[in-house]
C-alpha cells in the first residue's frame, strides 16, 4: 500500500534505519514476492534515470536498495498471530535484542518513534513497547497496559492484557506496533500458548516477562499514530502526510477546502 508516493514498508524501514538498525528480517506469506523485489537493486532502471538526468528520482530509488546480507525473508505459512510471526524468525534473531515494527502503524514524529524508544531503552534495558492513550470505547481492540509507575514518558508495567472485555481493561493505555524485546520473548513464544482470538499473541509472551523478570516498560512516544490497517486511518494518514509535502500542500489544501465547502453547502 502506498502512502502519498512511498509504500508503507518504506516508512517502516526509514524509521528503523534512523534508530540505527542495519539488519532486517521480513516475515511474509504467499503472494508477497513484490515485497522482495521492491528492496532489490534495479540496474536497468537506475541506468535509465541516470541517462535522463532524473537525479531526484534516482536518489529516491536508491533508498529502497539493501546491501547483500542486510535483509532476510521468512515465511509464515499459517496466520497464527503476531506472536507466531515473530517466533518464525527465532533462528535468525538468535540471542540478540531485537525490534519489531508493524508497518500498518505509521507514526508521524519529528524524531522517529523507534529512535525515541532506543534512546529510552539505553536507560532501562529489558523489554519496551510503544504506548499511547486510546478512547475508552476502543480500548478493548488493543493490548492494554497495567501501569505501576510513570516517570515522564517511561511507564513501569505490572501487567498486560490482549483485547480484554471493557470491564476487565486495566487502563486505556494501548500497545502500538513498535517493540524492543529480549531473546527471552522468543523462548516464551516457543511454548505456543494460544491467546485472544485463538492466536499466539506477542502480548502474552511479553506479559510473562512482567511476571518472571519485572523488566517491561511502556514508552509514551511523541508524535501521531495512524492506523493504516483501517480504511479511515489510511485516509487520515494520506491527508496528513500529503499536507506535509511542500510541493503538494497548496494544491491539496485548496482541494480540501473546496470539497468540504461543497459538502457543507449541500447539507
Alpha carbon of residue 35 to chain centroid: 16
Burial (Cβ within 10 Å: 0-12, 13-18, ≥19) of residue 108: middle
Are 10 and 63 contacting, i.e. CB atoms less than 8 angstroms apart? Answer: yes
Helices 231-244/246-266 angle, 10° precision: 130
Rounded Cα distance between 20 and 159, Å, is: 29
Rounded Cα distance between 203 and 160, Å, is: 7
Q: Which residues contact 246 (CB under 8 A, 6 or more apart)?
A: none
Global confidence as pTM: 0.86
Position of cell 511507564? 155
Rounded Cα distance between 148 and 100, Å, is: 24
Q: Which three cell numbers stand for residue 142?
A: 488493543
Are 35 and 26 contacting, i.e. CB atoms less than 8 angstroms apart? Answer: yes
Alpha carbon of residue 63 to chain centroid: 19
For residue 149, is it left (φ>0), alpha (ψ between -120 and 50) or beta? beta
Rounded Cα distance between 208 and 159, Å, is: 9
Tell me which residue of 135, 117, 140, 138 sits closest to 217, measured CA to CA.
117
Tell me which residue of 78, 96, 76 sits closest to 23, measured CA to CA.
96
Which residue segments constitute the domains of the chain, with CATH numbers given?
2-229 (3.90.550.10), 230-267 (no CATH)
Q: Which three cell numbers stand for residue 246?
A: 511542500
Are 104 and 8 contacting, i.e. CB atoms less than 8 angstroms apart? Answer: yes
Tell me which residue of 111, 113, 114, 128 sits closest to 180, measured CA to CA.
128
Could you list the pLDDT tens digit for every one of the 267 residues in the chain? Answer: 889 988 898 899 999 999 999 999 999 888 777 777 777 666 565 666 667 777 776 676 566 666 766 888 898 888 889 999 999 999 999 889 999 999 999 999 999 999 999 999 999 999 999 999 999 888 888 889 999 988 889 999 999 888 888 888 899 999 999 999 999 999 999 888 777 778 888 999 999 999 999 999 999 999 999 999 999 999 999 999 999 999 999 999 999 999 888 776 666
Determine the pLDDT at residue 139.
84
Amino acid at each position: 500500500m502506498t502512502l502519498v508516493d512511498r509504500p508503507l514498508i518504506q516508512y517502516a524501514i526509514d524509521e528503523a534505519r534512523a534508530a540505527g538498525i542495519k539488519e532486517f528480517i521480513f516475515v511474509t506469506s504467499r503472494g508477497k514476492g513484490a515485497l522482495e523485489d521492491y528492496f532489490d537493486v534495479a540496474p536497468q532502471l537506475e541506468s535509465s534515470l541516470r541517462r535522463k538526468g532524473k537525479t531526484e528520482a534516482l536518489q529516491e530509488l536508491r533508498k529502497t536498495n539493501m546491501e547483500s546480507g542486510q535483509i532476510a525473508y521468512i515465511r509464515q505459512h499459517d496466520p497464527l498471530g503476531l506472536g507466531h510471526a515473530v517466533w518464525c524468525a527465532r533462528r535468525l534473531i538468535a540471542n540478540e535484542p531485537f525490534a519489531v515494527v508493524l508497518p500498518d502503524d505509521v507514526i508521524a514524529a519529528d524524531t522517529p518513534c523507534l529512535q525515541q524508544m532506543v534512546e529510552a531503552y539505553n536507560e532501562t534495558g529489558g523489554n519496551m513497547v510503544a504506548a499511547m492513550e486510546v478512547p475508552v470505547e476502543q480500548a478493548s481492540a488493543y493490548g492494554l497496559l497495567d501501569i505501576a509507575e510513570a516517570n515522564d514518558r517511561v511507564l513501569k508495567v505490572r501487567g498486560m492484557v490482549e483485547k480484554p472485555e471493557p470491564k476487565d481493561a486495566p487502563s486505556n493505555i494501548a500497545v502500538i506496533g513498535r517493540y524492543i524485546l529480549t531473546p527471552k520473548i522468543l523462548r516464551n513464544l516457543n511454548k505456543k500458548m494460544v491467546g485472544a482470538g485463538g492466536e499466539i499473541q506477542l502480548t502474552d509472551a511479553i506479559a510473562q516477562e512482567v511476571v518472571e523478570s519485572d523488566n517491561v516498560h511502556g514508552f509514551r512516544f511523541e508524535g501521531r499514530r495512524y492506523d493504516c490497517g483501517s480504511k479511515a486511518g489510511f485516509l487520515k494518514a494520506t491527508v496528513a502526510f500529503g499536507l506535509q509535502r511542500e510541493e503538494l500542500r497548496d494544491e491539496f489544501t485548496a482541494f480540501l477546502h473546496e470539497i468540504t465547502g461543497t459538502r457543507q453547502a449541500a447539507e
